[in-house]
Structure 1
Amino acid sequence: MTVPQGAALSIGAVLGTGVIALPALAAQIAGPASLLAWAALVVLSVPLAATFAALGARYPDAGGVATYARTAFGRRAAAVVGWSFYFAVPVGAPAAALFGGAYVAAALGGGTRTTLLTAAGLMLTVTIGNLGGVRVSGRLQLGLAALLVALLLTATLTAWPHARAANLHPFAPHGWWAIGPAAAVLVWGFAGWEAVTSLAADFRRPGRDLPRATAIALVVVAVLYLGIAAASIAVLGPAMTAGSGGAPLAELLAIGVGGKVRTIAAGAAVLLTLGTMNAYYAGAAKLGAALGRDGALPAWFARGAAPGAVPRRSLLVVALLGAVSLAVVAATGTGTRALVLLTSGCFVLVYLMGSAAAVKLLPRSSAARRCALAALVASVGLMIVTGWYVLGTLVIAAGALLYTRRSPSEEKSGRVVDSVAA
């Protein structure tokens, strides 16, 4: 995998569907003050991205954050981290797919039926794409990223001349404390810096290429997220903060470009969704194989953990669980906000334990370790603002601990990780 492909996977994992719906969700919670939550999470992304890039460069392994947790704290910590990421993807995948499906339904009609069918089609597409391995999915992601960057820059730059300062008042209509809950929702949009670490061993030169890919992705994500969020509030104004602007990207395109906006927005939503899901399916599939290799999941999962190998068994489990989640959503009418927060809670735990592992593993005098300390403090804060939704993460963690009590011994399952660390 090349640096541009790795950067594209990171951009897709982090940027993704957050652009489609999060500006509206955050504005409904905190009004224009949600821009402070966006800015805070962009700042937080710097130490997080630097931390995971440093770990990935030093410990290139399919286990990703689970490998770092194992090296620092042992196999039970690795199982908790691995399960939190692996089983969060099938929960978050339907939410991501439904975000894209809603745009398609707005363009083509058909309501809920079109939304669900589109979501199912998107999930099937990324599954098929990843069956070809990381080289195929990396090339696909590179093309998607180029189209997305061009589209989002167009939406922001063409709509910005219509911005009004009056749309920023009142700045905090729901109080300053509302910034915290808005940030909890936005964690969904900034999760992803850890996703590509499971693919670190697939880079040609992980020690050099992964940090470069991460740096490129960090700059692109920061510019696009802040641009879209600021333009959405400054241009759309009351429609966003009152909750009637659920598709801000479409509205920005309508104002700035005109034409068949719903069709354009639907195409953008499909590309964004494919980019996000492609990156997460690729990372989760590799992670699941590594967990099987290391005894944190049944050994049946282990095939495909080696660099360059395709973890088809793990991928198919992710796809099957995602399909079950989508079926539950269709049957119960569960909203996407609950799925977003449940998934965010899992990723916050991954960040917390990954940052703690980095503090222990990285050289004491290094800038990377200082970034890890900042990331650890920030992750504790994110855990607090996630609130009750973190309970779902604790259930997954309990399941991981129960499983490891029945799995092979520490000595047997730690051999591969010891060789990686060496």
Structure 2
Amino acid sequence: MTGHRLGAWQGTALLVGAVLGPGMLVLPHLAAVSAGPASVLAWAGLLALSVPVAATFAALGTLRPGGGGVAAFVRPVFGPRAEAVVGWWFYGAVPLGTLAGALVGGRYVAASLGGGSGLANAVAGALLAGAFAANAAGLRVSGRLQLVMVLTLVGLLAVAVVVAAPSVSTTHFTPFAPYGMAGVADAAGVLLFAVVGWEAASHLSGEFADRRRGLVRATRITLAVVAVLYLGVAVVATGTGATGSPVPLTALLETGVGPVARPVTGVLALLLTFGAVNTYIAGAARLGAALAAEGALPRRFADPAGGVRRSLALLGALTGGVAAVALVSGLDVDPLMRATSACLAAVTTAGTAAAIPTLTGSRRAVAVTATVFSGVATAFCGWYLLVPLTLALAALAVLGLRVRVATT
């Protein structure tokens, strides 16, 4: 949408789409494995974290409409090296996150057909191959279709909560914290996957009819929608025992409507994950081409005609490599989501830190709070922080090599 015609509700739909993704199809189960019923504390804590983070990115977007995202805020404060590192964090997270998303879709399809991990992996491979083929052919999921998919996911989550709520039992909340607070912190590490995406607010600011208040209103509504959905799913899935299933949304719907939920969620999960995977691949391909043009990636990945085919090929090779490692080692969705969360949490922390000298007054205080909270949440990622650390070192090495070549 262009021409500054976005209203609060249209902007809300786009923001919800940026924050809410198909990871919600599996995260209640992964969090419960780490913390048991106490995983609801991790959900609540991360939602509280989202408030200052969302407010900070909304303030940045209002200050610099259409500012180009986190990289545009990081460069003037921390310099071009930091901008390159943030770009690598985004780019490097996509092979991990898209594989995780495809595996989630495969898991739901396999469950709907009564298949096992072999079928789930085959469906995931087909999803990824289809998404890369679509991008190579120049096909994209339209903005309207993506919006329909987001609204479908919102509706699916809401229906699941409503139909399963009468079956909630307190017996499923005991013992409440079988793994202690360490388990809650561990759950927070994977649940970060569900609360990253607030930086998208900075991209949308220039599209609002009311630039000063439109984005702020949309951010507030999105916070409310996301909080209700996340807490509703977390509490009801825990209270019905659905978190014990690797396909918790199917388990929730089966509790309320019976076996018909299985094929319905299988089809919807397939569509939702393909849409998300296709969109992330398209965005990452453009990002990779931009990084190569700036020298933050080897310049051979910048198409002479300004296209993204070389970047897309690199992205495909990286995704294939990650998939091969996952297949050989038996790597499941949980570590892939945690590694993705570590990268995107680092991006969020860099963005909020850049906001501190950029904003003034009370908004600066909010940015300080957001940076502290983001830093603490990022620490929950534990040794998965080695992933963004490795990517940062690689980015700096490529930049250093470019400088040495230019000076010889």
TM-score category of the 2 structures, normalised to the smaller one: 0.7 to 0.9
Q: Deviations over 1:293-325 (max 9, x none)?
A: 4332245656799xxx98555445434422332
Q: 2:341 maps to which residue?
A: 344
Q: Distance in 2 between matches of 1:206 and 1:351?
A: 26
Kept in 2: contact 1:185–1:341 (CA 8 A) = yes
Moved more, 274-283 or 245-254: 274-283
Residues 68 and 392 (structure 1), Cα distance of their counterparts in 2 relative to 1, 3 Å cut: same
% identity of equivalent residues: 46
Residues 304 and 126 (structure 1), Cα distance of their counterparts in 2 relative to 1, 3 Å cut: farther
Q: Distance in 2 between matches of 1:132 and 1:11?
A: 28
Residues 13 and 106 (structure 1), Cα distance of their counterparts in 2 relative to 1, 3 Å cut: same
Which runs of 5 or more residues in structure 2 are unaligned? none
3-state SS in 1 of match to 2:246: coil
Q: 1:232 maps to which residue?
A: 237
Q: 2:370 maps to which residue?
A: 375
CA RMSD across the alignment: 3.1
Kept in 1: contact 2:141–2:275 (CA 8 A) = no
Moved more, 199-208 or 108-117: 199-208
3-state SS in 2 of match to 1:297: coil
Residues 339 and 136 (structure 1), Cα distance of their counterparts in 2 relative to 1, 3 Å cut: closer
Q: 1:18 maps to which residue?
A: 23
Residues 133 and 35 (structure 1), Cα distance of their counterparts in 2 relative to 1, 3 Å cut: farther
Which runs of 5 or more residues in structure 1 are unaligned? 410-422
Q: CA deviation at 1:334?
A: 1.5
Q: CA deviation at 1:181?
A: 1.0
Q: 1:269 maps to which residue?
A: 269
Alignment map for 1:62-141 (pairs within 5 Å): 64-127=69-132, 136-141=141-146
Kept in 2: contact 1:37–1:180 (CA 8 A) = yes
TM-score norm. by structure 1 comes to 0.83
3-state SS in 2 of match to 1:246: coil
Residues 324 and 140 (structure 1), Cα distance of their counterparts in 2 relative to 1, 3 Å cut: farther
3-state SS in 1 of match to 2:178: coil
Q: 2:252 maps to which residue?
A: 252
Q: CA deviation at 1:345?
A: 1.3
Q: Distance in 1 between matches of 2:307 and 2:281?
A: 12
State the AA in 2 paired with 1:169: T
Kept in 1: contact 2:58–2:201 (CA 8 A) = no
Residue 310 of structure 2 corresponds to residue 331 of structure 1: no
Q: 1:414 maps to which residue?
A: none
Residue 177 of structure 2 corresponds to residue 172 of structure 1: yes
Alignment map for 1:181-192 (pairs within 5 Å): 181-192=186-197
Q: Distance in 2 between matches of 1:402 and 1:272?
A: 37
Q: Distance in 1 between matches of 2:190 and 2:14?
A: 22
3-state SS in 2 of match to 1:87: helix
Kept in 1: contact 2:15–2:222 (CA 8 A) = yes
Residue 181 of structure 2 corresponds to residue 159 of structure 1: no
Moved more, 148-157 or 130-139: 130-139
Residues 39 and 303 (structure 1), Cα distance of their counterparts in 2 relative to 1, 3 Å cut: farther
Alignment map for 1:273-422 (pairs within 5 Å): 273-299=273-299, 313-362=310-359, 364-367=360-363, 369-407=364-402
Moved more, 5-14 or 246-255: 5-14
3-state SS in 2 of match to 1:407: helix
Q: CA deviation at 1:19?
A: 1.8
Q: Distance in 2 between matches of 1:217 and 1:319?
A: 33
Residues 150 and 83 (structure 1), Cα distance of their counterparts in 2 relative to 1, 3 Å cut: same
Q: Deviations over 1:330-378 (max 9, x none)?
A: 233222222122111111211111111011212x1143x3332121001
Aligned residues, how many?
398
Q: Distance in 1 between matches of 2:122 and 2:209?
A: 40
Residues 267 and 370 (structure 1), Cα distance of their counterparts in 2 relative to 1, 3 Å cut: farther
Kept in 2: contact 1:11–1:217 (CA 8 A) = yes
Moved more, 170-179 or 398-407: 170-179
